[in-house]
Every structure is written in C-alpha cells, then in structure tokens.
Amino acid sequence: MNISKSMIELLQKVRNRMLDTFFPAFCVGCGRNGNYICERCTLFLSEAEPICPRCYHQSITGEVHLQCQKGNALDGLVSIWEYEGVAKSLLYSINEAGVTHVIPEITELAFQQLVEQKERYTPFFKTLLSSDCAITFVPRYFKEEKRRGFNQALLIAKAMGRFSRKGILSSLQKLNNINLENDWDREKRKGILKDSFSFRGLSGKLPTQVVLVDDLWRSGVTLNECALVLKRSGVEKVWGFTLAKVA
C-alpha cells in the first residue's frame, strides 16, 4: 500500500502530539520540564567558531578563503554550536531517540543566534535571502530513511525554510547505505563517499544559489561531496548549514 506524503506528515504530527502528551518535554541539560532546552541551559551552548569549509581553518564569516576557491565544493559554512555538552545531547535525542519534534524548537533557537550576529554572517544571509536561492538537504539512503522513519536533515531544512520563507528542494539522492565511522580520517571518508550522491533533477528552474542543510559537521566530507554534485548540475553557489560542528 502506498502512503501519500501528506498522510505521512499527518501521522508524524499525531505521533508528536502523543509524545508531547504522554512524554512531556524535559530540558536535555538540566531535566527541567517545559522545553527541550531551557533558557538557563542555552547559556551552556558553545558557539562554533566559523571555519573555511575547504581547508578547515578559521574564517571570520565562514566564507571560503580566497586561496581555497579552486574546485567545486562548499562556498561557505555556518555551524551554530560546538558538538559538546547540551548541543551533543540535543542531537542525540533526535538521531538516537527519534525525538524529532524537538527540531523546530532548536532550529528556531539557532536561527535567532544567527540573526543576532547578522553582521558577521552577512555573506550567508546574502545567499539565503537571495531571490534565486533555495534550501536543500543531505539525503539518507532510502531504505535507511524508511527504517528510521525520518531524515533529520530534511526536518531541519523544513524548519529553516519556515523561518526564512524559502522553498525546500529534494534535489539529491544517496546511492548506497554506507555509514561513516567516527574514527575514520578525512581522506578515508572522501574515498568511501566518492560518487555516493547523485542529482535527482527538478521539474522547475534550477536555483543559482543553494543552502545545503545537515545536522552535524564532522569532517565536512559529506557536505562537500553533495556540494560537488550540485555544482556539476549547474548550481553556482552552495553554503552549508549545520546545527553543530565537531571541534
């Protein structure tokens, strides 16, 4: 039996309401009832230092350094928090416990932090707010997504799309079910992920600029591989966006 996309979204909403009723939200930092992260514990979220997504060294705005611009990969990266403490617990609650209805709350918190520092992130906002920019996301292998019942990158992208009033494109697909081990170095990851993504094609006009969303920046290999596919398909500029970044 085929289930429509709207039916799946309705079932997810019903599931989330049931979770809210029978398992009310508790702050992942201190356990206080009310929100998944209370106002006090937001103070313990460590702001991620912006880096160039190609050489991985510091970049004041997250833009690629001038000397790093050769080749097709990300043109910039915005990661909100360091992957530690409260931020690590938040992502664990999503990815491992399946508490996906925390995503709008923490994405809104992340977006507020960006707006508060909009001067610093002017290049990112220039792309995001462009009339020819859309939001897309890192896909999961379809069998894996079906097993889990969600793709956290897609849910973050949808939340971000609501705040920025941008459409969401399902422009990429993952061709295999390779899962990267945390202790693999960057070069090994690059070799394994090479040609693991493809462009799905679009019914409408391809945007010239894209914000590519995922939950976590660990080595950058996944986001850069996806950016490569997008650019080969005709996208001119790709910014990465993640909630957290491994230091």
Chunked mean pLDDT (size 10), the chain, 247 residues: 58 57 63 74 86 95 95 95 92 88 90 90 94 95 91 96 91 89 83 91 83 96 96 95 94
Round to whole Å and give the CA distance between 157 and 174: 17
What angle is formed at CA 19 by the lines to CA 90 and CA 7, rounded to 5 degrees? 105
Rg of the Cα atoms in the chain:
18
CA 147 to chain centre: 20
Cβ(247)–Cβ(232) below 8 Å: no
Can you give the pLDDT at residue 183? Answer: 78
Round to whole Å and give the CA distance between 50 and 143: 34
DSSP 171: -
Can you give the pLDDT at residue 167? Answer: 87
Cβ(109)–Cβ(35) below 8 Å: no
Amino acid at 53: P
- List pLDDT tens digits, range 124-148: 999 999 999 999 999 999 999 998 8
Round to whole Å and give the CA distance between 91 and 111: 16
Can you give the pLDDT at residue 206? Answer: 86
Helices marked H in the chain: 5-22, 85-95, 103-116, 122-128, 142-148, 152-164, 186-193, 221-232
Query: Minimal CA–CA distance to 123: which of 67, 19, 50, 193?
Result: 50
Can you give the pLDDT at residue 18? Answer: 56
CA 217 to chain centre: 8
Can you give the pLDDT at residue 226? Answer: 96
Can you give the pLDDT at residue 56? Answer: 94
Secondary structure E strands in 164-206: 168-169, 172-174, 197-199
Can you give the pLDDT at residue 22? Answer: 47
Look at residue 43 and give its three-state secondary structure.
helix
Can you give the pLDDT at residue 42? Answer: 80
**What pTM was estimated for this model as a whole?**
0.86
